[in-house]
């Protein structure tokens, strides 16, 4: 089994053969992937070495010390955190070989075509249809998706569509990889309260998807999608940050820099949120350690739920600490950002943008149900439509 010493040796060999100072960024990332040092717990030949996941930190530390470039994980977070685990778990060897390398190097950006205007919290009610072309074996997809982050920059998308409307809603879904450059794909911006158009709505008209780009069996898309959703909630709510990093760091800095804004009541609130942020950070570390042993479970939903509540509370406190200045928002420009920058913007932006944290990646109401049923073991909510064919559901 690969150990830490072997990984250090491999990493130093990579640095010697491809010095970061003289090697182009993309060339270095490709070489790192080919050396199995991209994500060491992945299979050999797919960016890894079948090593324990915990040893990734050994590689990352060596590369950081040498000034090696990273793959800008925030820009390609959907690919890394959602698409890649699903491709690995449910795609064929050919599919994984084709997509994982350019996904990890950032040469191909990914987005997620799941939510629809009538299927957000109840995702299994989705209406986008995929019909098999018997002559070619391809799938023809028609429908609409919404709240799609990065669709305006994405080359590929993970997509779920209904392939059998005669089955109950959870059973007639199939999972695909969709080419975002297909002429049948139309991306339109959705302007948010921040002024940006970070999200999009996507219209699919006669989009042809080869059967080779199907992940999992026909009709088994809901099970495949659970891999994506569980990883999504960990990637949103369980990112590794240092103590007093992220949103709480901004609020604490305001407190230290503006003594004239302090009150006893605000101090108590800041201390409480600081403790909550530290508990969330340590819980995230424990969750990542659990991931070493297997796939993420429903605990990731609890992390994402806490992340949303904490961000909204901290951003609200920061605005109060700043007084009148907290109401200012410097940039209302209509932009199409590639990523969300919480800490690089002003307090007004953070306050407005954090409102979306309780919607994206699963609404807080849905996540509460998941935690109640799958973590605490409470009785499930009544679901009268569970066995009703999708075509007979009221819409």
Separation of alpha carbons 93 and 82, rounded Å: 18
- 102: tokens are 């350019």
Rg (CA), the chain: 22
Separation of alpha carbons 27 and 72, rounded Å: 15
The residues near 61 (Cβ < 8 Å, ≥ 6 apart) are none
Is 62 known to be catalytic? no
Q: Is 237 in contact with 307 (CB distance < 8 Å)?
A: yes
- 96: tokens are 């994984």
Q: Is 152 in contact with 191 (CB distance < 8 Å)?
A: no
Largest pairwise CA distance in the chain: 74
Q: Where are the beta strands (DSSP E) in the chain?
A: 110-113, 129-132, 139-146, 156-162, 173-179, 185-190, 199-209, 214-215
* Ramachandran bin of 147, using left for φ above 0, alpha for ψ from -120 to 50, beta for the remaining angles: left
Question: What is the SS3 assignment for 326-371?
Answer: HHCCCCCCCCCCCCCCCCCCCHHHHHHHHHHHHCCCCCHHHHHHHH
* Ramachandran bin of 45, using left for φ above 0, alpha for ψ from -120 to 50, beta for the remaining angles: left
Which residue is catalytic, options 232, 299, 318, 320? 232
Count of beta carbons in the 10 Å neighbourhood of residue 112? 26
> Which residues have a catalytic role annotated?
232
């Amino acid at each position: 089994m690969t150990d830490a010493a072997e990984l250090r040796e491999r990493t130093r060999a990579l640095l010697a053969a491809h010095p970061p100072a003289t090697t182009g960024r993309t060339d270095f990332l490709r070489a790192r992937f080919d050396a199995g040092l991209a994500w060491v717990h992945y299979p050999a030949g797919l960016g890894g070495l079948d090593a324990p996941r915990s040893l990734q930190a050994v590689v990352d530390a060596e590369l950081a010390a040498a000034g090696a470039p990273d793959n800008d994980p925030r820009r390609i977070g959907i690919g890394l955190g959602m698409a890649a685990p699903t491709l690995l778990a449910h795609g064929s060897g050919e599919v994984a070989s084709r997509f994982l390398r350019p996904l990890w190097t950032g040469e191909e950006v990914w987005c997620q075509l799941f939510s629809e205007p009538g299927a957000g919290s109840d995702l299994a009610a989705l209406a986008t249809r995929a019909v098999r072309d018997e002559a070619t074996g391809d799938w023809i997809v028609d429908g609409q998706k919404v709240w799609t982050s990065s669709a305006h920059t994405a080359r590929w998308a993970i997509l779920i569509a209904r392939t059998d409307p005669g089955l109950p809603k959870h059973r007639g879904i199939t999972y695909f990889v969709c080419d975002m450059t297909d002429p049948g794909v139309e991306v339109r911006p959705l302007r948010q309260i921040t002024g940006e158009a970070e999200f999009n709505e996507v219209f699919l008209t006669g989009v042809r998807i080869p059967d080779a780009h199907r992940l999992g069996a026909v009709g088994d898309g809901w099970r495949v999608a659970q891999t994506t959703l569980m990883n999504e909630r960990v990637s949103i709510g369980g990112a590794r940050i240092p103590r007093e990093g992220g949103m709480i760091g901004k609020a604490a800095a305001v407190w230290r820099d503006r003594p004239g804004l302090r009150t006893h009541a605000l101090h108590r609130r800041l201390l409480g949120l600081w403790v909550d942020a530290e508990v969330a950070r340590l819980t995230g570390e424990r969750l990542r350690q659990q991931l070493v042993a297997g796939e993420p479970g429903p605990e990731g939903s609890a992390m994402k739920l806490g992340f949303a509540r904490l961000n909204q509370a901290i951003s609200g406190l920061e605005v109060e600490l700043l007084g009148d200045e907290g109401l200012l928002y410097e940039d209302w420009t209509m932009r199409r950002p590639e990523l969300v920058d919480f800490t690089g913007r002003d307090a007004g932006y953070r306050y407005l943008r954090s409102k979306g944290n309780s919607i994206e990646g699963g609404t807080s109401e849905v996540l509460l149900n998941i935690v109640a049923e799958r973590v605490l073991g409470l009785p499930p909510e009544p679901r009268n439509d569970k066995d009703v064919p999708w075509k007979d559901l009221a819409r």
